[in-house]
Structure 1
């Protein structure tokens, strides 16, 4: 009986790990949620409401350290792939949307140190 209980416990732990891995944030989610921000980070002006909604969504999805590090790396990659990004606009965007992001939005941020 004890062996059966241990087996069941191991199965539950494995399922929980699989579920948490399945919910990890992806660069695709980051990119699709922040697409409305591209015009602002390039040109400034008014921040589109859809951009702020996307920032809130991404911030809510990035619950773990690994998720936040993935998000950070995705943002750096995205910024590097878009011509004309104004680094100051990108850095101030979360605050303009009233979202507290736990790392500086910058291509110089070391994402490995993000907690």
Structure 2
């Protein structure tokens, strides 16, 4: 049941991105897309991210098309990462690669988002 709710939230976030072209990316959209990744990132979800998590990572990549969007997504990801004291840095850094997504946005608590192009 919980997975279904998370999937619905992720889908709604993606729909919201496409329904409002030209709007800035919100942290709510980024957070909703990455909610399925929390168990993997905190070490409670096994050695691989779930398909729902990887779909969320791909959705964030699709949201971040401009430099401003990339920096905005980065700030949202950084803030979200800092909310989880048990976040595993190695899992966060490997997340895009494990999902087969090449991201310009690092998943990190310490990244300087202003340096992203």
**Partner residue, 1:109:** 111
TM-score (norm 1): 0.78
2 CA distance for matches of 1:34 and 1:106? 13
RMSD: 1.5
Structure 2: give runs of 5+ residues left out of the alignment. Answer: 1-20
1:48-87 map, 5 Å: 48-87=50-89
CA offset at residue 83 of structure 1?
2.6
TM-score (norm 2): 0.77
2 CA distance for matches of 1:103 and 1:56? 12
CA offset at residue 96 of structure 1?
0.4
**Partner residue, 1:3:** none
> Aligned residue pairs: how many?
96
Structure 1: give runs of 5+ residues left out of the alignment. Answer: 1-18
Q: Equivalent residue of 1:32, what SS?
A: helix
CA contact (8 A) 2:33 2:60 kept: yes
Relative to structure 2, which stretch is displaced further, 31-40 or 101-110? 101-110
